[in-house]
Structure 1
């Protein structure tokens, strides 16, 4: 049984590494920066979704990515206005300000990564739960 658990953990680590590597390649960034961005966008997205939609999305994330998604989650956190600007600022604040980063482009790259790995039906539900202004960062695929 321990062997199966070790194999499962190794597979989970490979999946997480694949996501980070893809994002780094898409943006031309280091893997460390890509990881920080993925984490920042996932946390902001998680905090902006309804509890039901948040749970539905999490069910489709690989195990270690799901752990990143829920890291530091506070279910009683107050809801924000849900404006595009606030979403981008939340990601930027979590990532760390970097004047060389176009956060609209960076967020869009994470959304494209999710498009490649999450079912189309779930992506449509997540997109439709967002304000129209924010959907422009996550174009329909």
Structure 2
């Protein structure tokens, strides 16, 4: 548990760390690979966001823990969304944004990150995410 001296900040950091720990746990990465789990999270969040309509992106982002929401919105250009991308384009983008070696493949990385995020998003919003993705991409959403 982090102690910033401000309970709300402590909670934000703890929630973000929980998601990163879930990614690390799924891969068996030790805590000293926190930069790697952060990079994985970021590499998946951005193409998810960019594939959604502005309204869906905002609804999805609103449910993310506060610090993750900042990562999610970083560099977002709503006027350029939604970006049409199928499964291959999505994975190419994830791979391009993740500079570490991948144990398994890019699809496994995306599934792992999405699984870690799922517990922080309502089932209704999660269903909406799957519904707006093309079938090939929706198949990776847990």
Q: Provide the rounded CA distance (Å) in 1 between the counterparts of 2:102 and 2:60.
A: 31
Q: Gaps (5+ residues) in structure 2?
A: none
Note the 1:79-90 alignment, pairs <5 A.
79-90=82-93
Matched length: 135
* 1:67-111 residue CA offsets vs partner (Å, 9 max, x unmatched): 010111122336543210000001111112636451110101111
Q: After the TM superposition, which parts of structure 1 deviate over 4 Å for at least 4 consecutive aligned residues?
A: none
Across the aligned residues of Structure 1 and Structure 2, the Cα RMSD in angstroms comes to: 1.8
Q: Provide the rounded CA distance (Å) in 2 between the counterparts of 1:72 and 1:25.
A: 28
Q: Gaps (5+ residues) in structure 1?
A: none
The equivalent of 1:73 in structure 2 is 76
Contact 2:52–2:132 (CA under 8 A) maintained in structure 1: yes
TM superposition score normalised by structure 1:
0.87
Give the direction of change, closer, same or farther, for the CA distance of 1:55–1:81 in structure 2 (3 Å limit): closer
The match for 2:106 among 99, 103, 108 is 103
Contact 2:16–2:65 (CA under 8 A) maintained in structure 1: yes
Q: Provide the rounded CA distance (Å) in 1 between the counterparts of 2:86 and 2:128.
A: 18
TM superposition score normalised by structure 2:
0.87
